[in-house]
Amino acid sequence: MIHYDEPLFRPPSEAESLIVQATIGCSYNKCTFCSMYKTKRYTAKSYEIIAGEIDELSSFTDVRRVVIADGDALALDTTLLLKIFAKLKETFPNLRRISLYGNTGNILKKTDSELKQLSEEGLSIIYLGFESGSDFILGKINKDVSKKDQAQAVNKAQSCGIDISATIITGLGGEGYWKEHIEQSADLVNISSPKYLSTLSLMLQPDCHVRFTAPFKSLFTPQDDMGILKEEKLLINLIKSPDRIIFRSNHASNVLPLSGILPRDKEKLINQIELAMENGTGIRPLGIRGL
């Protein structure tokens, strides 16, 4: 039986996918709001260990989707990733899609030719946390990237054939900076057009509360549900990308589950949000929200 190093995370859209844990933790691990991998020290497993674990998973038949964990498996050398992909395809002949988490830095570090090779050998989606498009907020959360870097990373990966699934965290600017956060995030989406976009809501674990709020000094007041819905509404309203963006807010942390194609379904989604703001329609009870 395969042993995963817990905690183990995967995007909601990969709920049915097989997980291959090629790395432990996140190679960056310094974002102030994030507790996901704080208990882990970043380690890249050797090919021999990963191949042995894929062999252990080979009893699963008809595997069509694999997600490579943990935090940013794209930090692995391209040669190693290509060997892992080859082993996966040999073990699971029905495999259709390989995805992984990446960050802006490790996309920009790969050459175009490396990204094209990864795409040709099966990498379909990189999950990328934008968190915000505001350079001010990115600085406060210690993300160590700019809006310009993030747009460049999306354009680079997508032009090499790999789709980007990007995430924005509503509530990240609190009451004080919500407009700046959302306006700049919408601008980032408009200049980069990720194939998929999702929102999740800020939920701080006790261990990162002080770390997250300290850089805002006394100016951080968390958004309540109405504040979060106001952010979702403005974000959707400002998205004017000429491309089809598949939008979801189906993460366990979300106040209101939403899904549609942007900008096509803008009106429908805004109506849904307005209804929730008026009489609570569709709002998920607090007790069932989580990370």
Q: Which residues bind ligand SF4 (CB under 6 A)?
A: 26, 28-31, 34, 36-37, 71, 103, 129
Residue 26 or residue 51: which is nearer to ligand SF4 going by CB? 26
End-to-end CA distance of the chain: 26
Tokens found for residue 88: 């996966």
CB of 86 to ligand SF4, least distance (A): 27
Residue 30 or residue 264: which is nearer to ligand SF4 going by CB? 30
CB of 128 to ligand SF4, least distance (A): 9
Residue 249 or residue 272: which is nearer to ligand SF4 going by CB? 249
Residue 11 or residue 71: which is nearer to ligand SF4 going by CB? 71
CB of 64 to ligand SF4, least distance (A): 26
Give the sign of the dihedral formed by CA 204, CA 205, CA 208, CA 214.
positive
CB of 21 to ligand SF4, least distance (A): 14
Task: Give the closest residue to 225 by CA, choosing from 249, 247, 259, 202.
Answer: 202
DSSP E strand boundaries for the chain: 18-21, 23-24, 43-44, 65-69, 97-102, 123-131, 163-170, 196-201, 245-248, 259-262
Residue 76 or residue 229: which is nearer to ligand SF4 going by CB? 76
Tokens found for residue 252: 């366990």
Question: Under 8 Å CB-to-CB from 263, ≥6 apart: which residues?
Answer: 239, 240, 241, 245
CB of 32 to ligand SF4, least distance (A): 9
